[in-house]
Amino acid sequence: NAGVMQNPRHLVRRRGQEARLRCSPMKGHSHVYWYRQLPEEGLKFMVYLQKENIIDESGMPKERFSAEFPKEGPSILRIQQVVRGDSAAYFCASSPTPGATQYFGPGTRLLVL
Amino acid sequence: AQRVTQPEKLLSVFKGAPVELKCNYSYSGSPELFWYVQYSRQRLQLLLRHISRESIKGFTADLNKGETSFHLKKPFAQEEDSAMYYCAATQGGSEKLVFGKGTKLTVNP
């Protein structure tokens, strides 16, 4: 089992561009979680999704951020019109069922110039 | 607000010495507590969770509800224990993990 995959591992964008971050959960996992880590901070929850459903988006900024987990393919975290403050490491985790251990991916490091 | 606090940003010990990484939480009710570890150039991985009451790699952690703490302990630190350690919590059926800011442990030879 390859574990949770995230791509790209590093992403550079200019202010105003869009960033798309992808997460492929572990095989057999249908629950996906996104976290953001700012420099010198702990990971902060953003959103929890099941296939085709957003279960908890209480940590998502109200504007410019969206997430999806389609029936086929990876989960996508999309950031529109990026700003410098979006520069961070974005981690994805997956689990087979609610309450089970969350397994983390290697993260995507976004740098906004 | 739900909060997890790790008061030490950095912790340095010598090989063979005991180590304790502190974690305090502020939650009402009965949260579930976790310790995650991130070794250099590796992904974040679960070290232990309090409900399983396991000892992993010689580490243990006891939930102290009176002191609202979940400190991570190991009697004899090894150089390979050098890593970032994050305490985390969930509660009330929520899947949302709330993390502390982490403690960087360095075990010197």
What value does the mean pLDDT take over residues B58-63? Answer: 90
Q: Using CB atoms, which residue from A45, A91, A101 is nearest to B46?
A: A101
Query: What pLDDT score does A89 carry?
Result: 96
Query: What pLDDT score does A1 carry?
Result: 60
Query: Which of these, B64, B36, B12, lies nearest to A35 by C-alpha position?
Result: B36
Torsion, Cα of B87, B91, B97, B99 (10° steps)? -30
Q: Residue B42: pLDDT above 70?
A: yes
Question: Which of A34-38, B59-63, B91-95 is the most confident on average?
Answer: A34-38
A17 touches chain B (CB under 8 A): no
CA distance B67 to chain A (A): 22
Q: Using CB atoms, which residue from A48, A91, A98 is nearest to B44?
A: A91
Mutate one of A6, A30, A56, A102 to test the B interface: name it (highest B CB count within 10 A).
A102
CA distance A18 to chain B (A): 26
Query: What pLDDT score does A99 carry?
Result: 81
- B1 burial type by CB count under 10 A (0-12 exposed, 13-18 middle, 19+ buried): exposed
Q: What is the SS3 string spanning chain A?
A: CCCCEEECCEEEECCCCCEEEEEECCCCCCEEEEEEECCCCCEEEEEEEECCEEEECCCCCCCCEEEECCCCCCEEEEECCCCHHHCEEEEEEEECCCCCCCEECCCEEEEEC
CA distance A37 to chain B (A): 9
Cis amide bond preceding A39, omega within 30 = no
Mutate one of B32, B37, B51, B96 to test the A interface: name it (highest A CB count within 10 A).
B96
**Cα(B69)–Cα(B86) distance, rounded to whole angstroms?**
14
A66 touches chain B (CB under 8 A): no
Helix H or strand E segment including B34: strand B32-38
Task: List, for residues B2-37, the tens digit of each pLDDT value.
Answer: 899 999 999 999 999 999 999 999 987 778 899 999
Task: List, for residues A19-72, the tens digit of each pLDDT value.
Answer: 999 999 999 999 999 999 998 888 999 999 998 899 999 999 989 999 999 988
